[in-house]
Amino acid sequence: MSSAYSDAGRPRGRSALCVLALCCVALGAALRAGAAEPPRFKVPSEDDAPLVLVVYGDTRFTHRSHVVNAIARRALVERIATEKPAAILIGGDLVYEGRDPGDYQTFRSETMAWSTAHIPVFPALGNHELRGCKAADVQPCLENWWSTFDDLPLRPHRWYSVAIGSNMLALVLDSGAPLKPGSEQRSWFEAQIAGADDGVKFILIVLHYPPVRDPFFPRGLDEKEVARYLARHAASLRAKVLVVGSHVHNYERYFRDGVNYVVSGGGGAKAVPAPRMFGEESHLRTAVNFHYLRLTLEKERLAVSMVRYDAGKVEGPQVWSEPDRFEIRARD
């Protein structure tokens, strides 16, 4: 499988990624499967060295200042660039209005530090990616999303997978599409988990609507089907599972049926207070939590840190903190 990095271990630019790596992986799979199968991309590691990944959502890149804290959004983007992650996974609501190409242009312009550093970005679809389109015709919104990430390439698919290093498989889902048993996405999801290589020790599931979250927030569509499936099967899997959703503009963490569930929706959208009841494990006392997740992937361990930006402080080291951390150990 082609690599998202050069032979020397240095990541290439986004256009080069398409020509020399990600494009080859996706197009090769499309040719073999008649474009029926969603693509799989690859983020390699050097000699099993630790990989740093960033996962978060609800960034809402837009010129509409009243629906987002643009200062927090830009601060997070800049801070993420300094992490030099091997990849960034965004759990949906990348933009505010998916029908508006200008919102995607805001994303491009504000994340120049990422593209300059050649950091690959893997997005999930959220409800705002389809905002502005009629329910019966979401194609214009999808075209804007596909065109923005044409270096991957994703068209015509809405979900896909990423092999990260030698021991992680990331499944990027569309929680706006059916996930009930027998649906196209569910069948693909189950096949990906069942067919994971023996060396895969961690499965990362990224989607917009979080399967486990504070019950005060209404559910979206079929996202709870993911939790139901894992409740039955996680214990028998060779890999440990981490599920990251967004949608709720805050941070929450749960542990259910042997699976860690995180809500990471603090990318810049206006904050929503979290009651932190019903088994929430971070016990944060801050109501507003702009943040991202730093995942450090090692051979037998996945360490997760919530990196928080305090929008109420102007400058200084106290602006940034890591108030919640946890780790997942590989199975023996």
Chain segment 268-290, per-residue pLDDT in tens: 999 998 888 889 999 999 999 99
pLDDT exceeds 90 at position 25:
no
pLDDT exceeds 60 at position 116:
yes
Per the rule left: phi > 0, alpha: psi between -120 and 50, beta: everything else, 260 is beta
Kindly report the average pLDDT of the chain as a whole number: 89
Strands 40-43 and 202-206, sheet pairing:
unpaired
Asked if the structure places residue 179 within a domain, the reply is yes
For residue 216, CA distances in Å to 85, 141, 255 come to 34, 30, 18
Helix H, strand E, coil C: the string for 203-242 is: EEEECCCCCCCCCCCCCCCCCHHHHHHHHHHHHHCCCEEE
| Alpha-helical runs (H) found in 99-183 | 101-110, 112-116, 139-148
Structural domains in the chain (count): 1
CB < 8 Å & 24+ apart, contacts of 133-142: 133/98, 133/99, 140/99, 141/98, 141/99, 142/98
pLDDT exceeds 90 at position 34:
no
Average pLDDT score over residue span 133-155: 95
> Using 50, 70 and 90 to split pLDDT, how confident is the model at 320?
very high
pLDDT exceeds 60 at position 3:
no
Rounded to an integer, what distance in angstroms lies between the CA atom of residue 108 and that of residue 72?
17
Asked if the structure places residue 302 within a domain, the reply is yes
Q: Which of 301, 328, 329, 307 is nearest to 319 (CA)?
A: 307
Q: What percent of the chain has pLDDT over 90?
A: 79
CA angle 230, 234, 239 (to 5 degrees): 125
**Which residues span the domain enclosing 319?**
39-329
Segment among 72-76, 204-208, 294-298, 308-312 with least mean pLDDT: 308-312
CB 158 within 8 A of CB 125: yes
Segment among 54-63, 66-75, 212-221 with least mean pLDDT: 212-221
Query: Cα 228 to the chain's mean position, in Å?
Result: 20
Asked if the structure places residue 26 within a domain, the reply is no
In this structure, how many other beta carbons lie within 10 angstroms of the beta carbon of residue 32? 10
Segment among 15-29, 99-113, 280-294 with least mean pLDDT: 15-29
pLDDT at 313: 75
Asked if the structure places residue 18 within a domain, the reply is no
Specify the residue for token string 């996945």: 302
pLDDT at 278: 85
pLDDT exceeds 70 at position 1:
no
- The DSSP string of 39-97 is PEEEE--STT--EEEEEE----B-S-GGGB-HHHHHHHHHHHHHH--SEEEE-S--BS-
Model confidence pLDDT, tens digit, residues 196-221: 999 999 999 999 999 999 888 877 89
Asked if the structure places residue 134 within a domain, the reply is yes
> Using 50, 70 and 90 to split pLDDT, how confident is the model at 5?
very low
Q: First-to-last CA distance in the chain? A: 28
Q: What is the DSSP letter of 262?
A: E
Q: What is the DSSP letter of 180?
A: S
Asked if the structure places residue 31 within a domain, the reply is no
Preceding amide of 156 cis, omega within 30: yes
Asked if the structure places residue 8 within a domain, the reply is no
Rounded to an integer, what distance in angstroms lies between the CA atom of residue 237 and that of residue 193?
8
pLDDT at 2: 33
**Torsion from C-alpha of 223, 226, 231, 235, nearest 10 degrees:** -150
pLDDT exceeds 60 at position 29:
no
Average pLDDT score over residue span 235-260: 97
pLDDT exceeds 70 at position 240:
yes
pLDDT at 12: 40
pLDDT at 317: 67
For residue 73, CA distances in Å to 96, 122, 168 come to 13, 18, 28
CB 265 within 8 A of CB 253: no
pLDDT at 217: 80
> Using 50, 70 and 90 to split pLDDT, how confident is the model at 316?
low
Asked if the structure places residue 91 within a domain, the reply is yes
CATH number, residue 305: 3.60.21.10
> Using 50, 70 and 90 to split pLDDT, how confident is the model at 28?
very low
> Using 50, 70 and 90 to split pLDDT, how confident is the model at 332?
confident
For residue 59, CA distances in Å to 76, 262, 264 come to 9, 16, 10
